[in-house]
Chain A
Amino acid sequence: MIDLFDKHQPIAERIARAEAMGVTIGVTNERMISPTRAIINGRETILAGTNNYMGITFDAECIAAGKAAMADFGTGTTGSRIANGTYALHQELEEELARFLNRRHCIVFTTGYQANLGMMSGLAGPRDTIFLDADSHSSIYDGCTLSGAKLVRFRHNDAADLDKRLARSEGEEGGRLVVLEGIYSMLGDRAPLADFIEVKKKHGFQLLADEAHSFGVLGPHGRGLADEAGVEDEIDFVVGTFSKSVGAIGGFGAGNHPQFEILRYAMRPYMFTASSSPASIATSLAAVKKLAAEPWRRERLRENSARLFSGFRGLGLDMGCDEVSPVIAVKCPDEVSAVRMWNALLAAGVYVNIAVPPGTPNKLCLLRCSVSAAHTDADIDRIIELFGEVVAAGHGKKVVNG
């Protein structure tokens, strides 16, 4: 008999190698002190890798809304949206989000992962083709697989490459969906939307933007990269998550298509899972209202991101991209040095993400920071100081001839 676990041996060996270096995969937050502080390994630690962009997770009004919803509607819905799991709260959140996004329709999902699974598989079917950016998040890849569509991968952020691949499949039956992200989660770079829209005008396809890391963050209204770039009319479908700027859990898909609502009956990740708990929906609703009413949060996040970015640049660190966003990644020469530096940073009191292949593009090993509006100047300066001591002094410094 072949043990089904045999195939996981390479992963087990990789974990064992990390543990031999004194690293456990992931951390345990023993206690949360604030959106930007936790007790990890018994020590107070600055959190700089939690995607808590707005620092809204401990907002008094959001917490009160969640408590009230739990008291009024119970702990869970015990059902799917298409059975007994639709409460007035879910519909209220969908209406509020549609208003915020300036879209006619919005559907809420239980997680952000399911939002991508649902939207990809609801929009595209076996006769269609999905063209996806090479650096797309796993939830996009998984949603594409679930759809049964033909899947064509184009080079990251390369509109000319998409153009070439569209031309190769010209004349085939079925619809065509192109999938991009607003801010890419690993390197923090943005999709060049204007270039892609030129290709859209040439070939004709439907365009979906996953604004997971940019919803609530970018644009004059906080609607994401398309809002920032002023091209929302060209984006047919928007996907987003509540687990970042909204500080809860869940996700959404939105659009203006007159048939959009039919997706509720065509998306298995929407139909065959329990709907979000009342408390989670109510905190999301309160947070979305805050994102609309309190643009100072976006401004503060921009200032904090710029402060960290210029601090790292001053240290000569080799960064993931040249544009400031709340995702700021530092490249490391290899996995072993990345693990060492990540360990040293954590021991000194700052938590960032360690990201290694295949979770990263181009075989990169990264120390990835995500900035919060709740970080103080002193927090940002401490992170810069520690990266100076640990990373710049180590191996993370940019190689001029590299």
Chain B
Amino acid sequence: MSDTIARICKVLEPFNSNGAILAPHTDISTDLNIDSVTVMDFVMEVEDHFDVELPLNVLAEIRTVAELAATVEARTRKAQP
């Protein structure tokens, strides 16, 4: 598991009230059974944890932890010239 994925899983823990397995393929919304507002709240925590901007319109394309990690890494590189 990459460092980014491991860190995202850590941030995700407080939102995982159903005890779903947190892994790269975990679907953040359906596997954790969390509503749209909770997903946005979680992403806000990820933004602050990595100091990266994850716009809501970009999130529409993201379902799994691995996809989110890839986006975080891509946008972190973009932010650092």
Contacts and interface: CB of A to CB of B under 8 A. Distances in A.
Contacts of A148: 57
Contacts of B55: 129, 150-152
Interface in A339-375: 357-358, 361, 363
Contact of A150 (B40, B41, B57): B57
B56 interface: yes
Contacts of B79: 168
Given A168-B79, A358-B35, A134 B56 contact: no
A268 B43 CA distance: 30
A164 to B, nearest CB: 8
A168 B41 CA distance: 18
B57 A155 contact: no
Nearest to B53: A168
Q: Provide the main secondary structure of the chain A interface.
A: mixed
A363 B40 CA distance: 12
A273 interface: no
Q: Provide the main secondary structure of the chain B interface.
A: helix
Interface in B34-81: 35-38, 40-41, 44, 51-53, 55-57, 79
A300 interface: no
A148 B56 CA distance: 11
Given A165-B53, A168-B51, A153 B38 contact: no
Contact of A169 (B35, B51, B53): B53
A153 B56 contact: yes
Contacts of B37: 357-358, 361
Contacts of A102: none
A134 B44 contact: yes
Nearest to B54: A152
Interface of B: 35-38, 40-41, 44, 51-53, 55-57, 79
6 contacts: A144-B56, A149-B57, A151-B56, A151-B57, A152-B56, A363-B38
Which are the 7 A-B pairs with shortest beta-carbon distances?
A: A358-B35, A151-B56, A358-B37, A150-B55, A168-B53, A151-B57, A151-B55
